[in-house]
Structure 1
Amino acid sequence: MKKLVAVYVIIMTCGFAEEYTQADRIFDMQKMAQAMQDIQSGFFYNNLDIVKAGAKDLKETVVKIGPIKKETENKDVYERWMTNNTAMTKRIQRKIAQNTDDIVARFSAGDATQALQFYSKISSECMKCHVRLRKW
């Protein structure tokens, strides 16, 4: 009986799970932009807590980014591949997450120059996605 209830709960949870929408993506992009601004403010004010908070927000938000329903349901194989390149997205997400850790580590160690270089690498990864996938 318990197994039956557990299976029912799982099915209902999956059935009511909300899909990732364009509005969600826009909100997440705005959160990432704010996190990048927070990191930069932490650099300018020489405040490690602000840098850590911005890095934490960025790292938590970047993993949410993914294709929206319209992109995944597209029937044209080439178009779907161009707009839903999940391998590239995952690679960019991993690099951004690693670079945020490096920013905090370098800034904590007092090496603001290296931390700024990792910040620049994150900006480069952001632009890579926007240019290649979003066609900016």
Structure 2
Amino acid sequence: MKKALLMSVLVSGALFAQPEHFQPDRMKNMADMETAMSTIQKGFLYDNINVVKNGVKDLKRTVKHTESFMKEGVGENKINNKMYAQKQAVAISNMADEISATFAKGDRYSAANNYLLILSKCLSCHQTIRSW
């Protein structure tokens, strides 16, 4: 009886452990993107180009890892999740470059608008991919 119980615990643990493999990466990458966005915002508030550039660099590095927060297949709204997330990631990366460029030129309002566009892309992706 004890062997059967132990065996069932081990088998169920092995079965349920597989999906958890991607969970820490997704959570870490989401937290890293949030930290990068906070760094950019802090750079705006302190009017510090170096802080903004560090946030942009961190955001661009993290957004490349879209595979970590993917739900496979086609979503409820008939959108290919992987392609959608990759498209959003490219757009976020391009807007992050715009933040650096416009902030460096002294155009803080355009940089802030690009920041809001990135935030909008993040929310859009969460709503579409994560079904929020």
Shorter chain as denominator, the TM-score bin is: 0.7 to 0.9
Identity %: 37
CA RMSD in angstroms, aligned pairs only = 1.8
Gaps of 5+ in 2: 1-20
Amino acid at match of 1:53: N
Please say which structure displays the higher CA radius of gyration.
Answer: 2
Instruction: Give the equivalent residue in structure 1 for 2:99.
Output: 103
| Count of aligned positions | 109
Instruction: Please give the TM-score of this superposition, normalised by the length of structure 2.
Output: 0.77
Q: Which residue of 2 aligns with 1:21?
A: 22
Q: Which runs of 5+ in 1 are unaligned?
A: 1-19, 73-79
Going from structure 1 to structure 2, the CA distance change for 1:115 and 1:26 (only over 3 Å counts) comes to same
**Partner residue, 2:36:** 35
Cα pair 2:25 2:68 within 8 Å, conserved: no
1:114 equivalent in structure 2:
110
Aligned residue among 120, 123, 131 for 1:124: 120
Q: Equivalent of 1:82, from 72, 75, 78?
A: 75
Kept after mapping to 1: 8 A contact 2:66/2:86: no
TM-score, normalised via structure 1 length:
0.75
SS of the residue 2:33 aligns to: helix
Segment drifting more, 93-102 vs 81-90: 81-90
